């Protein structure tokens, strides 16, 4: 069979896969939901983000410094502070009305100006763990910043001679939506590449069309390549629409790097993940089994790839093992390109790793696929 004829066969088989997907409304709804609602909610409903957090202040000092500290808490991170008495602290925390309560003691300003130790009590509702952890650090920074500003205004000689200048690169306003939306795009590309290819193979087995392919003059490699390119095309198109429509348009997240370069890396990642999806589909007998296998594989891939927490914070053994996972290199190149505007001269090692891993996965999946369809014949 000539290479040109083989490519034509792969194209026609891929078109057949696209028509099969078009007639599957459940999969179409899943694709649409994954790249619209899921991306938007991941960007805007992150639990660690401080957004309209309730805070109360017990001001027992009633001085310009205490009023300056009170005025430093404002939307959108905090709700306007509620000024309460000492007797309302415990009931307010017990009922969940306040997440944080600050107690500014009497003579606080006088102690600060005199250089004596001065303390502010911060009461935290630790049942709201994510907000408690993030908000506690933010509140301490706000209070320290206001005290330093107050001292500089009253007596410049009392201020610290060293001033820390903080510059946040790539995300100056520290917008959590910038991180959440782009990482969700990367996660959905990974998830749908597994689901679509695996479901396509299982669907053919359940409908009996795999037997039709076995009597046709096509090879297992052509069948696999057809599924790989067709499902990869669907995922890439959905991701491109989501990046431009939801991320850029609806959320207003800037994309720093080259989108063609990112999608080139995504194509290599899809080459590896679609092959893995076919491998899992040959192990499963039906969709429920495939779903269980996918969860066992997908969750570690996404949680340990560096998209949720930095890889440097993980044990060294986990870091080394995850170098064999395509998601690790895809997250690395995706963050470098989309967040930091990196070029090919920076991300080429990730491209090379994805190409090697994808080739190995495709070879292993092809061997398994040949064995599986051989047992059907």
Whole-angstrom distance, CA of residue 368 vs CA of residue 217: 20
- Do 31 and 62 fall into the same domain? no
- Whether 166 maps to a domain, the answer reads no
- Whether 184 maps to a domain, the answer reads yes
Sign of CA dihedral 182, 183, 188, 194: positive
55 sits in which H/E element: strand 55-59
Would you tell me how many other CB atoms lie within 10 Å of the CB of residue 92? 19
Q: Answer whether 298's CB lies under 8 Å from 190's CB.
A: yes
Q: What is the pLDDT along the chain (377 residues), one digit of tens a residue?
A: 566 668 888 888 889 889 988 988 999 999 999 999 999 988 876 555 677 889 999 999 999 999 999 999 988 888 999 999 999 999 898 888 898 999 999 999 998 888 888 889 999 988 877 677 778 888 988 998 898 888 887 776 655 555 556 677 777 766 777 788 888 999 999 999 999 998 888 887 777 776 676 677 788 888 889 889 999 999 999 999 999 999 988 888 888 889 999 999 999 999 999 999 999 988 888 888 998 999 899 988 888 888 877 787 788 899 899 999 999 999 999 989 988 888 999 999 999 999 999 999 999 999 988 887 766 55
Domain count for the chain, please give it. 2
- Do 203 and 144 fall into the same domain? no
Range of the domain at 182: 3-45+175-376
CATH number at residue 87: 3.40.1710.10
Q: Answer whether 12's CB lies under 8 Å from 225's CB.
A: no
Mention every residue, 6+ apart, whose C-beta is less than 8 A from residue 8: none
Q: Is 101 left (phi over 0), alpha (psi -120 to 50) or beta?
A: beta
Q: How far is CA 305 from CA 300, 322, 356, 370, in A?
A: 8, 7, 17, 30
Count helices and strands in the chain by DSSP H and E runs: 15, 4
- Whether 163 maps to a domain, the answer reads no
- Do 17 and 59 fall into the same domain? no
Whole-angstrom distance, CA of residue 119 vs CA of residue 256: 44
Is pTM beyond 0.85 here?
no
Q: E strands of 105-178, at which residues?
A: 121-124
């Amino acid at each position: 069979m000539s290479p040109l004829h083989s490519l034509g066969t792969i194209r026609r088989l891929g078109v057949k896969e696209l028509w099969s997907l078009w007639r599957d409304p459940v999969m179409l709804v899943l694709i649409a939901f994954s790249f619209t609602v899921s991306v938007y909610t991941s960007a805007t409903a992150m639990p660690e983000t401080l957004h309209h957090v309730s805070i109360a202040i017990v001001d027992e000092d009633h001085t310009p410094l205490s009023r300056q500290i009170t005025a430093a808490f404002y939307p959108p991170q905090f709700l306007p502070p509620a000024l309460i008495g000492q007797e309302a602290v415990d009931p307010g925390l017990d009922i969940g009305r306040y997440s944080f309560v600050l107690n500014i003691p009497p003579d606080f300003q006088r102690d600060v100006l005199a250089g004596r130790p001065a303390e502010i009590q911060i009461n935290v509702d630790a049942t709201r763990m994510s907000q408690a952890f993030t908000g506690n650090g933010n509140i301490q920074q706000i209070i320290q910043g206001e005290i330093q500003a107050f001292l500089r205004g009253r007596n410049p000689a009392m201020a610290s001679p060293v001033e820390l200048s903080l510059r946040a690169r790539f995300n100056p306003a520290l917008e959590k939506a910038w991180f959440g939306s782009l990482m969700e795009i990367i996660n959905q590309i990974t998830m749908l590449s597994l689901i679509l290819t695996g479901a396509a193979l299982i669907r053919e087995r359940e409908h009996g069309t795999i037997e039709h392919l076995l009597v046709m003059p096509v090879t297992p490699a052509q069948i696999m390549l057809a599924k790989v390119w067709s499902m990869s095309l669907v995922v890439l198109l959905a991701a491109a629409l989501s990046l431009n429509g939801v991320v850029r348009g609806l959320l207003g997240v800037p994309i720093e790097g080259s989108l063609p370069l990112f999608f080139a890396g995504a194509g290599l990642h899809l080459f590896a993940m679609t092959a893995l999806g076919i491998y899992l589909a040959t192990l499963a007998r039906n969709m429920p089994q495939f779903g269980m296998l996918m969860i066992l594989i997908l969750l570690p891939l996404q949680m340990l790839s560096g998209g949720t927490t930095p890889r440097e914070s993980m044990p060294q053994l986990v870091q080394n093992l995850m170098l064999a996972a395509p998601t690790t290199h895809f997250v690395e190149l995706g963050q470098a390109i989309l967040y930091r505007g990196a070029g090919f001269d920076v991300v080429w090692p990730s491209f090379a790793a994805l190409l090697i891993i994808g080739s190995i996965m495709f070879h292993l999946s092809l061997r398994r696929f040949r064995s599986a369809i051989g047992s059907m014949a």
